Amino acid sequence: MSAHDSSTHDGSKDVVVHTSDTLPERFSNPGHPEHHLRRSDQDPRANKRAELQVVVLFLISVIGTIGFLVAYFTVTPAGTPSSIRNSNLLLGLGLFFGLMGIGLAAVHWAKSLMNDHEKSEERHELRSPEPVRAQAVEVIQEGVADSAIGRRGILKGAMVSALALFPLSIAVPLIGNIGGNWNVSTLKHTMWKKGTRLTIDPTGRPVKASDLTIGSVFHIIPDGLDKTADPMEEKAKAIVLLIRLDPRDLKIAPDREGWSYDGIIAYSKICTHVGCPVALYEQQTHHLLCPCHQSTFDVADGAKVVFGPAKRPLPQLPITVDSEGYLVAQSDFHEPVGPSFWERLK
């Protein structure tokens, strides 16, 4: 109370009360607006015209249905995209006119030909009368007493177990369908290792350093991808974008000296935001865009984020050439690829 007492604020002035005599105590029910006769009520010709309009609408429906049946039997999908298109289009138009005609005709009939006198229905109270409520409570109590749930302990136990176990039939498949592999450490590694050749996606041809001209972009998968147990799973983690820049444009961080080869640089193609394939490369600006949310990475400067929702640079794959001149990986990525997960390092 002391806090309240020490307040200098006068609460009584917060609400301004108007005591005007111009406002009535209660508004009276204005009742229905005056009834206006429609044209079809006053003019027999308008009435006849409305009737004709309804008939025409029903006729449109009849024509639509007949058109649907004709299209069903004459325009059959024959395996080419255009025949499927024509069949879908004609069936859809037939259905549209068939149903729309009936709907419009029914509403138009009700609005223009049936009487439109206003009617009132009083609302009744939602709460049931007292005796009905008392009777309902009595019925429940009688049922509880009759089942003797208080005395028959084993029955109560059986019922509770059945009710408690049933939700498992929904929960277990839900959790089980998330995936069979709960080994989180697989998210930290890809199939790249020392000496794995860089090959072209999807043909699998190995790439020589001399194959890349300046401004070239190669979409890369690791050699031997198709021989792994689950190529799609491995590809989803291991895809790489190989780009050759003018070495003078390239800014190389001191801890990444020797990760690129003569201006050829390799970055993970998986966006660090939510994992879309980042592949829109602008040759002139060296910017790499993600098609999903427009995260933009600067390829010339360590694939750092220059725009968009991504938080981290794309992981870089250290590369070199082997004795035959083919590009190979020096090791796996030095950090997990793709979006963050709960046990991501760094």
Partner 1 sequence: MKALAARRHHRNAPVVVTLLALLTTGGLYAALAPSTAHAAEPTANDIAAGGKLFQANCSTCHGPAAGGTASGPSLVGVGAAAVDFQVSTGRMPMAASGPQVIAKPPTFDAKQTAELAAYVASLGAGPAVPTAEQVDPSKGDQATGMALFRTNCAMCHNAVGAGGALSQGKFAPPLANATPTVIYEAMLTGPQSMPVFNNDNITPQEKRDVIAYLVAQRSNATSVNDLGAFGPVSEGLWAWVLGIGTLIGCAVWIGAKSS
- The CB-of-18 to partner 1 minimum distance in angstroms stands at 37
**Residue 296 found at the interface with partner 1 (CB under 8 A):** yes
Among 56, 279, 305, 321, binds partner 1 (CB under 8 A): 279
Q: Which stretch binds partner 1 (CB under 8 A): 37-45, 67-75, 131-139, 324-332?
A: 37-45
Binding to partner 1, residues 5-24 (CB under 8 A): none
**Residue 277 found at the interface with partner 1 (CB under 8 A):** yes
- The CB-of-81 to partner 1 minimum distance in angstroms stands at 5
**Residue 307 found at the interface with partner 1 (CB under 8 A):** yes
**Residue 62 found at the interface with partner 1 (CB under 8 A):** no
Q: What are the residues whose beta carbons fall under 8 Å from the beta carbon of 99, sequence distance 6 or more? A: 61, 64
Q: Which stretch binds partner 1 (CB under 8 A): 68-76, 181-189, 225-233, 291-299?
A: 291-299
**CB under 8 Å, gap of 24 or more: what pairs does 210-214 form?**
210/325, 212/242, 212/244, 212/264, 213/244, 214/244, 214/245, 214/246, 214/263
Closest CA to 182 of 343, 339, 345: 343
Among 141, 147, 285, 340, binds partner 1 (CB under 8 A): 285
- The CB-of-4 to partner 1 minimum distance in angstroms stands at 53
Among 51, 201, 301, 335, binds partner 1 (CB under 8 A): 201
Identity of the residue, 16 or 37, whose beta carbon is nearer to partner 1 in the bound complex: 37
Block residue for tokens 């609408």: 57
241, 212 Cβ separation under 8 angstroms:
no
Which three-class secondary structure state does DSSP give residue 128? coil
Tell me how crowded residue 270 is: count the other CB atoms within 10 A of its CB: 25
Among 71, 191, 240, 243, binds partner 1 (CB under 8 A): 243
Q: How many residues bind partner 1 (CB under 8 A)?
A: 43
Which three-class secondary structure state does DSSP give residue 277? strand
**Residue 39 found at the interface with partner 1 (CB under 8 A):** yes
Closest CA to 264 of 241, 287, 285: 241
Identity of the residue, 138 or 282, whose beta carbon is nearer to partner 1 in the bound complex: 282
Among 40, 61, 190, 316, binds partner 1 (CB under 8 A): 40
**What's the first-to-final CA gap in the chain, in angstroms?**
53
Q: What mask, x for binding partner 1 by CB under 8 A, covers residues 203 to 222?
A: x---xx--xxxxxxxxx---
Residue 67 class from Cβ within 10 Å (0-12 exposed, 13-18 middle, 19+ buried)? Answer: middle
Radius of gyration, alpha carbons of the chain? 38
Buried b (16+ CB within 10 A) or exposed e, 79-105: eeeeeeebbeebbeebeebbeebbebb
Which amino acid is residue 328, in one-letter code? Answer: V
- The CB-of-213 to partner 1 minimum distance in angstroms stands at 5
Identity of the residue, 93 or 252, whose beta carbon is nearer to partner 1 in the bound complex: 93
Among 70, 89, 184, 253, binds partner 1 (CB under 8 A): 89
Q: Which stretch binds partner 1 (CB under 8 A): 9-17, 135-143, 184-192, 272-280?
A: 272-280
Binding to partner 1, residues 128-187 (CB under 8 A): none
Q: What are the residues whose beta carbons fall under 8 Å from the beta carbon of 314, sequence distance 6 or more? A: 267, 268, 269, 270, 271, 272, 278, 288, 297, 303
- Contact residues toward partner 1 (CB under 8 A) are 36, 38-40, 81-82, 84-85, 89, 107, 111-112, 116, 200-203, 207-208, 211-219, 243, 277, 279-285, 287, 289, 291, 294, 296, 307
